[in-house]
Amino acid sequence: MKATADRRLHEQLVDGSLLLIPIPFPQKSHPSFAPSLGLSFLISLSLSMGSKAHSRFGPLLLRYVSLALAASSWGVTAGRLSPPACDLFRGTWAYDESYPLYDSASCPFIRREFDCLRYGRPDEMYLKYRWIPNGCDLPRFDGRDLLERWRGKKIMFVGDSLSLNQFNSFLCLLHAAVPGGRTSSNRTEVLTAVRFEDYNVTVMYYVTHYLVDVVREKIGRVLKLDSIQGGQVWLGADVLIFNTWHWWPTRGPAQAWDFIQDGKKILKDMDRTVAFSKALTTWARWADSSINPATTKVFYQGVSPSHYHGQDWGGSYRESCSGQTQPLNASTYPGGPAPQEAIVENVLGTISKPVYLLDITFLSQLRKDAHPSKYNGVHFQNDCSHWCLAGLPDTWNQLMYAAVIR
């Protein structure tokens, strides 16, 4: 059962062999300063990414821990899963004419991989769905309120390109709240930063495939399951949102390491789910020993599902996300939960500091209609892993906002 689920996820990754966006690592590590992060900046970013297919790739990790959330009655809090007063993560999608939350054409922060309308997606129904949790309402995303609450703060998304997806969505939501506001941006090898000047709020994206380190040694690139050097940089943020998973099963040329180090052992390979679990445990120990809950809130972005196989949602084997125009209306996902969800829950459960799990897997599994498929402006033939913007990640950010204001 578990092996089947693992294989299915692996197949999805192979099918979507280009599912993860390569992140360029420029030669120089000097931060460059751009007066505003306009479309040209983003396009040049995409171009340089495209032309460096063999450069290192980075996953985005999203994780976020918050003391303020310690009193929350849902999510993973203080290392325990509390009984939910209202489970924000179970519910249904309903058509809502007032959606989407912003016009993608007027958001300067959408990478072309996610800019579906611009790249020809003909249907627009997928923009119009609102998530309705069972038994309560999801608060409206109030960008001005959030900027005010987080005045002077730094928010950092850490992880692979699913984190990048949520980061872009978050920037668009804030931008839509203060459309005339001044922004500035910076970028180094691993870090992109955008500041909303009027509020002195800095939103960042730190690229990492695995959260744990990949170190270049004499034998080659070594994925170190016990080591997190990036943590030093993350500690500079007031709000952290972590994520990793999609790169773990990757094999072949896109695999970003040559060996795995597990304790003292150097291995050519190992079970990828076990490796993921060990790395996440390393991260959990890091969070427990390094995070000061009085100053830093931590979220973990749950496992984001892909839609490459119709039979997962009761369709035919040949179906994929391509051509899907409506969400699934179901209280359980026919394909079952992603096997990594249980690992994430278990590992987060070992952390004594408050970490809030954005448990987005199920609600995203229903959104077979929300992927870019071929409308991604780059070379992906059928991207059923990332999500269009405007679109589903806006709901992930609404859920994060709900957690902040509770």
Residues with a catalytic annotation lie at 161, 383, 386
296 binds ligand NAG (CB under 6 A): no
What's the CA gap between 327 and 334, in Å, rounded?
13
By C-beta, is 195 or 297 nearer to ligand NAG?
Answer: 195
**53, 71, 94, 267: which one binds ligand NAG (CB under 6 A):** 94
Alpha helices in 139-198 (DSSP H): 143-149, 161-177
184 binds ligand NAG (CB under 6 A): yes
Q: What tokens does 217 get?
A: 């040694």
297 binds ligand NAG (CB under 6 A): no
What's the CA gap between 291 and 301, in Å, rounded?
17
By CB under 6 A, the residues from 212 to 241 that bind ligand NAG are none
By C-beta, is 33 or 317 nearer to ligand NAG?
Answer: 33
| Smallest separation (angstroms) from ligand NAG to the CB of 200 | 4
What's the CA gap between 254 and 267, in Å, rounded?
18
Which 3-state string (H, E, C) describes 86-107? CCCCCEEEEECCCCCCCCHHHC
By C-beta, is 98 or 329 nearer to ligand NAG?
Answer: 329
Neighbours of 104 (CB within 10 A): 18
In this structure, what are the phi and psi dihedrals at residue 296, rounded to the nearest 5 degrees? -130, 130
* Contact stretch for ligand NAG (CB under 6 A) within 100-108, 183-191, 271-279, 356-364: 183-191
193 binds ligand NAG (CB under 6 A): yes
By C-beta, is 8 or 130 nearer to ligand NAG?
Answer: 130
By CB under 6 A, the residues from 57 to 76 that bind ligand NAG are none
For residues 12 to 31, the per-residue mask of contacts with ligand NAG, x marking binding by CB under 6 A and - elsewhere, is -------------------x
**72, 202, 364, 397: which one binds ligand NAG (CB under 6 A):** 202
Helix pair angle (272-290, 339-348), 10° resolution: 30
Q: Is 15 exposed, middle or buried (0-12, 13-18, 19+ CB in 10 A)?
A: middle
317 binds ligand NAG (CB under 6 A): no
Residue 56 DSSP code: -
CB 305 within 8 A of CB 336: no
364 binds ligand NAG (CB under 6 A): no
154 binds ligand NAG (CB under 6 A): yes
By C-beta, is 154 or 307 nearer to ligand NAG?
Answer: 154
| Smallest separation (angstroms) from ligand NAG to the CB of 125 | 11
| Smallest separation (angstroms) from ligand NAG to the CB of 102 | 21
Q: Residues 118, 123, 127, CA angle at the centre, nearest 5°?
A: 80
* Contact stretch for ligand NAG (CB under 6 A) within 137-145, 170-178, 194-202, 337-345: 194-202
By C-beta, is 35 or 120 nearer to ligand NAG?
Answer: 35
200 binds ligand NAG (CB under 6 A): yes
Q: Total residues at the site for ligand NAG (CB under 6 A)?
A: 13
Neighbours of 181 (CB within 10 A): 16
**17, 48, 186, 322: which one binds ligand NAG (CB under 6 A):** 186
| Smallest separation (angstroms) from ligand NAG to the CB of 295 | 12
* Contact stretch for ligand NAG (CB under 6 A) within 57-65, 182-190, 317-325, 373-381: 182-190
> DSSP strand E in 218-347: where?
220-224, 239-242, 259-262, 265-267, 297-301
By CB under 6 A, the residues from 329 to 348 that bind ligand NAG are 329
What's the CA gap between 336 and 54, in Å, rounded?
35
Cα dihedral: 384, 389, 393, 399 (round 10): -160
Which 3-state string (H, E, C) describes 272-290? HHHHHHHHHHHHHHHHHHH
Q: Which residues bind ligand NAG (CB under 6 A)?
A: 31, 33, 94, 152, 154, 184-186, 193, 195, 200, 202, 329
